[in-house]
Every structure is written in C-alpha cells, then in structure tokens.
Amino acid sequence: MKTTLFFFATILYCNIIFAQADYAKYIGTARTSFSKPDLEDTRYNLMLALQQLDMKVGQEILKILPEKMDSLTAQKKLDNIMANSAGWIGTTIHREYGMSQQNKVEVDIVSNSPMVASLNAWLNNPMFAQMGGRKAMKVDGYKGSYTYEVSESTDASGNAIKTPRSEMQIPIFSSLVTVKCDNMKEDDFVKMLNTLPISKIAEMLK
Amino acid sequence: MVALCSTTIWQNAEAQLLKKLKDKVNQAADKAVGDKTGTNTGTNTGNTGTTGSSTSTSSRPSNKGGAGLISTPPDIAANMTSSEASFKDNKFSESRYALQQSILGVELQIGKEILKSLPDSVQGLPKITEKDKVASSGWGWSGLTISRDYQKDDKFLGVGIQDFSYLGPAWAMFLNGGMMNSQVENEKQKMKNIMVKGNKGVISYDDSKGYTVVVMLTQGSALVWEGVNFASEDDIMKAVNTFDIDRIKKFLGEK
C-alpha cells in the first residue's frame, strides 16, 4: 500500500515538474519565434504554454481539495486533469472520494464551461430559481444549483432499489464546479459541500 | 435544454418587462419636467415623449462624434515576460492573463499581415479599407476572425477567414459525406462540392443572399466568400480564384 502511494505521489510530483519545465520551454520557443519573426510558430508555442499553465493550475486546485469529504477518502490515483486550450472548453479537473459506486463523491471542475451562461441566468432569476426539480443555495458564499432526485432500479432478486442522488453545480466566472453524490441526505450533502474551499478554487480560476 | 428554453422565455419576458418599466419611467420623468417647466398640457398620454419642450430636456442626447478608442494592441514580448514572472511567483491567474494577452497580440498581428496580403481589388471591385476587420478572443485556435469587403455600386464581395477547429470534424463529414453536399430544389442546384486551388469546398446560391463559397483548410480554418450580384457561378469563382489561398494557409500555419 505504501509503495503504491509512493508510486502515485512520485507520478504527481513528476507531472508538476514537467508542467513547469514545459511551460518555460514553450515560452522560450515562442520568444525565439517572435524574434525571427515567425508569428504562427509564436502563436502555436504560446498556446502550448497556456495548456501547461492550465495543467499547473489543475494540479494546484487538486492540492487544495480536502483529503476527505464526509468519511470518504480522496482517491488520488484517479485524479485527472485535461488541459484543452483548443477552443470552447478549457481545463477539466476530476477528483473522486470513496471506493464503492454506492458511496462515492465526484468533484469536477470545468473551465470555460458552455453550461455557465444558462446556469447563471437561472440562478439570477428568482422566478425560476425554485423550478425544474432544483433549487438555489450557497456554498462558501457562492450561489449554486442543487438537484436531488431518486432513481429506481431492481437488484438481482427483483427487489426495487431507490437511489437518492444529489448534485450541486456552482458557476465561478466562466468555470463550473460540479459535485455529485449518491445515497446521501440533503443536509449531509450540504454539510459536506461546505468543506470544499470554493473561495480558494475561485481565486485559482480567476 | 429545459434550462435554455426557460432562460430564453425568461429573457423575453424580462425584456418586455424592462421596456414597460422604461416607458413608465420616461412618462414620469417627462411629467415631472413638464410640471417644473410648465409645458405639460395636462393630458400627456404619449409614451415616447416626442412632442413639446420636455423632449429636449429629458431625452438622452445622441453622440455626435468622438475620437474613439486609442488603438492599443497588447505588447507581445512584455506580456510573455510578465507571464513568466507571475508563473515563477505562483501567481497563475496573472500569468494566464498575460499569456492570453500575448496570444491576442500575436493573433491581431497575424490578422493584419493576412489583410496586407489580400488583393486591393478583385475583378474591378475595390477594397473598403475602413471595413477591414481583425478580431481575436485571445483564447486560442477558435478565436481569430479576419474579414474584408470589396464593393462597387451594388456588386459586393466579402471574404472572411476564421478558425473553425472545433467545427473541423463536422465540416470534414460535410465535405466528404455525399449526403448533404448536393442539394437540389425545384430542379435547381442550390449547393454543391467544388475544388478551389486543390482545396475542398462548397458553393451555394440563394436568390436573396447571392453566392457563398466555403473552403476548409487542412486543420480547421475556413475561408468564406460572399458574393452579391455576381452574374454567374463562373463569375464568382473567378473572383475567388484571385485569392492566394496557399499564402493565407502559410500565415495560419496550415499545410
């Protein structure tokens, strides 16, 4: 177990080092290209530097996420950052807490999310803020949309299983923070959400 | 989808509500000014306030001109340095902003270079310099838009160059598909595939809009021409072929 943890910690550390090194490398190449001047190559390398910067921001955000949410431990080996500076969606950051499907929390942060505009419009409209099976609430001072639904299925013996599912979406600038969880009461879910350092994440996403 | 529909409905409702509110405020303001100046006739039921001396005092003046904004394209090199310094200090937000400003500066410069390379006139249509446009979001490949208009009397040619990398796969399907690329209505061909200097493209014709030619470049950029009052397909294609597509590709880093 210790070896595995050390292995993943090493990978994470290496990724951080590589992101820093690559950022410096791409900025350096962009500077050289600009002095020629080769504008297209300058642009290309600046875009790559931006990707590396987004990777770095993703790593920093993962660092400030709590080690535990409720009683569930962060599954750091499943941490995922995907920097995509190629247009409408930016970086996606993913973290899971808990081992089993029945008892798992997922945190996703997507920068430049196309969902943000409609979500903000919904949140800022008192007429709609309590409609559509969801409601508005605040986490760490940030408004978000809370959805609670119960999905029904059957087990192998044909018995009905009801699974309550909670989801919170919090728009921050152009980014969207989503927290999903099964089998948790609303009060417990909200309590758990308040352990997320949303203000610090917002500072990073600015 | 529900959220989007709700938002749209709400926005329409809000717009109507705001308009009504604005009209009411204007009426109240007109009345108040009229009372003070003694110009109210006592039965002011109009909601636009277009008559009487109250109009000149309460309505917002229209702008008669100004020097506009000072052109300040971002300093590319300075922003690169600033981004690097902020990155070293772990100020990622500042670093990102400076990097985006650099990209914005580079894209604007690429746009200007491309505009410089376009012909001054096309088949007797002179360029309209004041309509030259370069726009960049500073957000990467999808952000650069360049356009130029040519016009003489009622004959018009517009050319636009845009990065469409996020639409690239859709365009590739369209151009290679064979389903949608040949559209015939009332026995008249409305759209078809063409080759322009070795690049795949589409030409379409609409009585109200004229001709549109779209050429997708290798990696997502697109060239779009709009021709109004061109006599024939041959006529518009002659105009399209005066553009040096290879040179534009080179500026955009396309092969």
Model confidence at B10, pLDDT cuts 50, 70, 90, reads very low
Per-residue pLDDT, averaged over B158-173, amounts to: 66
The amino acid occupying position A165 is: R
B142 in A contact zone (CB under 8 Å)? yes
Question: CB within 8 A of A38, min separation 6: which ones?
Answer: none
B4 in A contact zone (CB under 8 Å)? yes
* Most confident among A144-153, B120-129, B199-208 (mean pLDDT): B120-129
pLDDT given for residue B126 in this prediction: 96
- Residue A43 has its nearest CB partner, among B11, B107, B142, at B107
B165 in A contact zone (CB under 8 Å)? yes
Report the alpha-carbon distance of residue B89 to residue B56 in Å, rounded: 56
Other C-beta atoms lying within 10 Å of the C-beta of residue B93: 13
B3 in A contact zone (CB under 8 Å)? yes
Mean pLDDT estimate for chain A: 83
pLDDT given for residue A103 in this prediction: 84
pLDDT given for residue A83 in this prediction: 74
Beta-carbon separation of B106 and A127 below 8 A: no
Question: Got the DSSP string for A152-174?
Answer: EEE-TTS-EEEEEEEEEEEEETT
pLDDT given for residue B98 in this prediction: 93
* A30 interaction partners in chain B (CB closer than 8 Å): 80, 102
Looking at the predicted structure, is the pLDDT value of residue B97 above 60? Answer: yes
Looking at the predicted structure, is the pLDDT value of residue A40 above 90? Answer: no
Nearest CA of chain A to the CA of B97: how many Å? 9
B103 in A contact zone (CB under 8 Å)? yes
B82 in A contact zone (CB under 8 Å)? no
Nearest CA of chain A to the CA of B81: how many Å? 9
Beta-carbon separation of A53 and B99 below 8 A: yes
Report the alpha-carbon distance of residue B255 to residue B252 in Å, rounded: 9
Q: How far is CA A35 from the centre of its chain?
A: 38
Report the alpha-carbon distance of residue B238 to residue B253 in Å, rounded: 26
Partnered with residue A80 across adjacent β-strands are A94
For residue A141 the two structure tokens come to: 């001072």
Looking at the predicted structure, is the pLDDT value of residue A48 above 80? Answer: yes
Question: For chains A and B, what is the number of CB pairs under 8 angstroms?
Answer: 103
pLDDT given for residue B82 in this prediction: 96
User: Which residue from A minimizes the CA distance to B76?
Assistant: A34
B79 in A contact zone (CB under 8 Å)? no
* B76 interaction partners in chain A (CB closer than 8 Å): 34, 42
Nearest CA of chain A to the CA of B236: how many Å? 30
Task: Provide ipTM, 2 decimals.
Answer: 0.73
Element (H, E) at A15: helix A2-35
* Most confident among A7-21, B98-112, B131-145 (mean pLDDT): B98-112
* Most confident among A43-57, A91-105, B147-161, B202-216 (mean pLDDT): B147-161
Report the alpha-carbon distance of residue B240 to residue B223 in Å, rounded: 10
Model confidence at B138, pLDDT cuts 50, 70, 90, reads low
Share of chain B above pLDDT 90, in %: 33
Nearest CA of chain B to the CA of A11: how many Å? 21
Residue with token string 């039921």:
B45
Beta-carbon separation of B142 and A125 below 8 A: no
B140 in A contact zone (CB under 8 Å)? yes
Over residues A69-106, the pLDDT tens digits come to 988 999 999 999 887 655 445 688 999 999 887 789 99
pLDDT given for residue B145 in this prediction: 83
Per-residue pLDDT, averaged over B37-57, amounts to: 48
pLDDT given for residue B123 in this prediction: 93
Looking at the predicted structure, is the pLDDT value of residue A137 above 60? Answer: yes
Lowest mean pLDDT among A79-83, B189-193, B204-208: B189-193
Lowest mean pLDDT among A172-186, B154-168, B182-196: B182-196
pLDDT given for residue B43 in this prediction: 44
First vs last Cα of chain B: how many Å apart? Answer: 39
* A41 interaction partners in chain B (CB closer than 8 Å): 253
Does residue A114 have a cis peptide bond before it, meaning omega lies within 30 degrees of 0?
no
For residue A154 the two structure tokens come to: 């059957």
User: Which residue from B minimizes the CA distance to A204?
Assistant: B93
Q: Is B191 helix (H, G, I), strand (E, B) or coil?
A: strand
Mean pLDDT estimate for chain B: 75
Instruction: Find which of B2, B6, B75 to mutate to test the A interface (most A CBs within 10 Å of its CB).
Output: B6
Report the alpha-carbon distance of residue A18 to residue B86 in Å, rounded: 18
Model confidence at A130, pLDDT cuts 50, 70, 90, reads low
Beta-carbon separation of A86 and B165 below 8 A: yes
- Residue A118 has its nearest CB partner, among B4, B90, B165, at B4
Beta-carbon separation of A43 and B142 below 8 A: no
Q: What is the pTM of this model?
A: 0.68
Of B139, B84, B129, nearest to B106 by C-alpha is B139
B16 in A contact zone (CB under 8 Å)? no
* A39 interaction partners in chain B (CB closer than 8 Å): 106, 109-110, 113, 251
Nearest CA of chain B to the CA of A206: how many Å? 6
What is the per-residue burial (b if ≥16 Cβ within 10 Å, else e) of A93-115?
bbbbbbeeeeebbbbbbbbbbee
pLDDT given for residue A117 in this prediction: 83
Residue with token string 């535990």:
A68
pLDDT given for residue B139 in this prediction: 55
